[in-house]
């Protein structure tokens, strides 16, 4: 079986992590290649993972000269399946499908396509429209988690063309990170974090990530618990808004924006409680990355997160946007510190059993076989 994956190459979020974890295991089951449209961190990470990848550069997002080049590769190499990831690859895939007949085109939907470009008006209007237009041209869809299935159906897609696949993490790989003191000392004096409970939120600084909810909850907790600090790792267009919000709440000595984090495990090793405060998610990789280090997690009840976190049993969930509910769950842990370690261990055990990269690759292989049998 030969599969060609298309992805922009500029991805920094869950789609990037998904395709690296997936293809690092899937390459043992099928013959695969990844084509992306720019050089960068994604290309280097895929290359380092021993996955076959090429770059066919675009001069702009709307440069369609790449379509003929990819079509030539598909025909010359006789790929069985073309598998797209993300809005740019979907757009290219729509035109590629006109040139490649009798080959199934699949797209993995990694996030809510109505919210992907929420922070920039032009992108929200133009790119969201083009992505939905492109999506309607695909033969089959893979939903990352159960929460997006109804969303895909809303495009007029029949259920028998949609497959469910959870994100998976390679728990077998060696994880490298620096010690807590070394990492946090890059940002502030030791006295800021010494003997403190550290609560962290690692995400891109976009509206959909609900970092305003995180800061509002921090404001409530900080008034009662002086031994707690809050860290936000990541970059994005909401940086100035969040800085202003922290200042307005007088939390400059309690809530810290760390900026872009090169190695997520440095961040997760340095915190005690991991928080996901998003308004919308499918199945965020940040939970699995933190879980690999047995970190306790509190998350908004989004996407397929409840399939991993059982509220009150191996972590905590709160309703989307409910900062008071988040603050309450944080306070429960602060009052019962043994739960922080216990929940971290229980969550890690479940994640390793059900959300491994090996399981994800095997499920993806079975999906491919099912699609080819229909052909």
Q: Are residues 31 and 159 in the same domain?
A: yes
* Residue 61 counted as domain residue: yes
- Regarding whether 110 and 55 lie in a shared domain, the answer is yes
305 belongs to a structural domain: yes
C-alpha–C-alpha distance, residues 319 and 93, integer Å: 37
- 86-137: per-residue pLDDT in tens? 889 999 999 999 999 899 999 999 877 656 655 555 555 566 778 788 889 9
Q: Residue 198 is encoded by which pair of tokens? A: 């550290």
Please check whether residue 98 lies inside any domain of the structure: yes
User: 27 and 161: one domain?
Assistant: yes
The whole-number pLDDT of residue 181 equals 94
**133 and 232, same structural domain?**
no
- Mean pLDDT for 16-36 is 93
Q: Does 167 or 320 have the greater pLDDT score?
A: 320
Statement to judge: residues 199 and 88 lie in one domain: no
Say yes or no: 38 and 145 in one domain.
yes
Q: What is the mean pLDDT of residues 139-160?
A: 89
Shared domain check, 162 and 230: no
Based on the fold, state whether residues 107 and 235 are members of the same structural domain.
no
Considering the domain boundaries, does residue 283 fall inside one? yes
Q: How far is CA 131 from the centre of its chain?
A: 19
Is residue 174, in this structure, part of any structural domain at all? no
How many Å is the Cα radius of gyration of the chain? 21
pLDDT of residue 151: 86
How far apart, in whole angstroms, are the C-alpha atoms of residue 192 and residue 253? 8
Look up residue 341 and give its two tokens.
């370690």
365 lies in the same domain as 323: no
pLDDT (tens digit per residue) in 268-285 = 999 999 999 999 888 888
Indicate whether 138 and 226 sit together in one domain.
no
Give me the number of domains the chain comprises: 2
Indicate the pTM of the whole model.
Answer: 0.78
- Answer yes or no: is 30 within a domain: yes
Q: Do 342 and 300 belong to one domain?
A: yes
Residues 368 and 340 in one domain: no
Q: In whole angstroms, give the CA distance from residue 296 to residue 157.
A: 38
> Measured at the alpha carbon of residue 22, what is the angle toward residues 16 and 26, in degrees to the nearest 5?
145
CA–CA distances in Å: residue 67 to residues 99, 249, 337: 9, 51, 56
CATH of the domain at 141: 3.40.50.2000
Domain that holds residue 218: 180-354
């Amino acid at each position: 079986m030969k599969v060609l994956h298309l992805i922009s190459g500029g991805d920094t979020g869950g789609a990037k992590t998904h395709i690296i974890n997936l293809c690092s295991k899937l390459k043992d089951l099928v013959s695969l290649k990844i084509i992306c449209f720019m050089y960068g961190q994604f290309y280097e990470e895929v290359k380092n993972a021993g996955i076959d990848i090429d770059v066919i550069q675009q001069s702009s997002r709307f440069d369609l000269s790449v379509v003929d080049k990819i079509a030539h590769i598909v025909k010359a190499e006789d790929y069985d399946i073309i598998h797209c990831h993300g809005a740019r690859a979907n757009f290219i895939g729509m035109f590629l499908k006109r040139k490649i007949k009798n080959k199934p085109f699949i797209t993995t939907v990694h996030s809510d396509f109505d919210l992907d470009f929420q922070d920039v008006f032009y992108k929200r209007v133009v790119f969201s429209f083009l992505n939905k237009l492109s999506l309607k041209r695909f033969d089959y869809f893979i939903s990352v988690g159960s929460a997006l299935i109804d969303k895909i159906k809303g495009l007029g897609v029949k259920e028998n063309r949609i497959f469910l696949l959870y994100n998976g993490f390679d728990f077998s790989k060696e994880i490298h990170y620096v010690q807590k003191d070394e990492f946090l000392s890059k940002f502030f004096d030791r006295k800021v974090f010494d003997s403190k409970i550290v609560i962290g939120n690692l995400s891109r600084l976009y509206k959909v990530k609900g970092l305003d909810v995180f800061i509002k909850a921090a404001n409530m907790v900080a008034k009662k618990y002086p031994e707690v600090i809050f860290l936000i790792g990541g970059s994005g267009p909401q940086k100035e808004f969040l800085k202003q919000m922290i200042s307005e709440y007088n939390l400059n000595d309690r809530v810290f924006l760390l900026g872009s984090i090169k190695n997520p495990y440095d961040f997760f090793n340095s915190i005690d409680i991991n928080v996901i405060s998003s308004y919308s998610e499918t199945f965020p990789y940040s939970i699995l990355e933190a879980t690999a280090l047995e970190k306790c997690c509190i998350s908004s009840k989004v996407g397929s997160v409840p399939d991993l976190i059982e509220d009150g049993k191996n972590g905590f969930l709160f309703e989307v946007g409910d900062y008071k509910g988040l603050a309450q769950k944080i306070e429960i842990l602060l009052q019962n510190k043994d739960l922080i370690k216990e929940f971290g261990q229980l969550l890690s055990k479940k994640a390793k059993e059900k959300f491994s990269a090996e399981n994800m690759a095997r499920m993806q292989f079975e999906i491919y076989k099912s699609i080819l049998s229909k052909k």
